[in-house]
Amino acid sequence: MNLRTRLALLLALGALLSGCGAAPDPGPGSGPGGEKPFWRAEFGGAAGTRPPERSWNTEIGNRDAEGWGNNELQYYTDDPANSALDGDGHLLISARPAPAGSELPCYTRKFCPWTSARLTTEGKVALTQGRVEVRAKLPTGTGLLPAIWMLGDNGVEWPGQGEIDICEVVGGEPRTVYGTAHGPTYFNEHGIGGSTTLPADASRAFHTYAVDKRPHRITWSVDGKPYFTLTPKKLPAARDWVFEEDLHLLLNVAVGGDWPGPPDASTPSPATMTVDYVRFYGEGQA
C-alpha cells in the first residue's frame, strides 16, 4: 500500500469516527414523504447579529415572571452575548454567568447569577397540524435545562393552553432526551411523555428533534426514530386534550430551578444551544 493510499484511508476513517452518533444534515430539501416546509429558519447572517424580529420574539427578565415558573436562576436578555447568529448558519443561545456588578432582579434571590435567552415565535409563526423539526446541539452539565418546546395559542392560561416539550435534556443526564405534554390536569411532574437515549452526550453532535402533531395524536422522535406517541386515551380524561389548535415554538437554555437543581463549578460557561435549523411542515401560520 503506497503512502497516498494510506493517507486516503486514514482521512476516510477520521471522517467516519468524527461523525459517530451524529444525525446527518439532511440539507435544505424535503421532509418525510417529500413534504416541503411552509416555514423554515436556516440562520444565515453575519456573526453577532440577532435573529430576525419578523420571526422571533425575545423574552426578558426573571423576577416578574416568578422565576419562569420553576425557580430558575437565569435572567433572560436580548444581548447578542446570549442569542445571536454565529456567521456559519447557526443560532447560538448561550447561558453565561451574569457580568460582575450587574443587578438583574431575580425571583428566588435578590439578583440573578446567570443570563441567558428565550426566543419565541408567538404571534409570528405557528403550527396547526403537521411536523416541527429542530436540528441542534444541546448544552449539558449540572444545573442546565435546555429546551425546545411549544405553547398553545388558544388564549387560555397555562397549563390549559397546552404545552408540548419537543425535547429537554436535564442536568446530569447528558444522553437522555425527554419529550412531554402538559395540559389542564397533567402538568409539571404529572406531565405525560417518554424519553430516549442518545448514543453520546447531547452537546457533542447535532440531532434532529421533532414532533408530529396530527388530529388526536402527537408523536415524538429523534433523528427520525419515534419513541413516544400520545393520544387522548392516555390522558386522565379525554376531554382534557388541548392540542388541536395552533402552537408556537420556544427555544431557551434555563439554569437552576426545580428540576435540574443549581449549577456548580463544573457547569460549562458559556452553555450554548447551537441551532442549525427550524422547519415547520403541514398547516400553520407564517
β pairing state of 126-137 and 144-152: unpaired
Alpha-carbon dihedral 177, 182, 185, 187, rounded to 10 degrees: 60
Which residues, in sequence order, are bridge partners of residue 147? 168, 252
Residue 281: partners with Cβ closer than 8 Å, 6 or more residues away:
31, 32, 35, 36, 37, 38, 130, 131, 132, 133
Amino acid at 266: S
For the annotated catalytic residues, the residue numbers are 163, 168
DSSP 11: H
**How many Cβ atoms are within 10 Å of 25's Cβ, its own excluded?**
11
> 53, exposed or middle or buried, with CB in 10 Å at 0-12, 13-18, 19+?
exposed
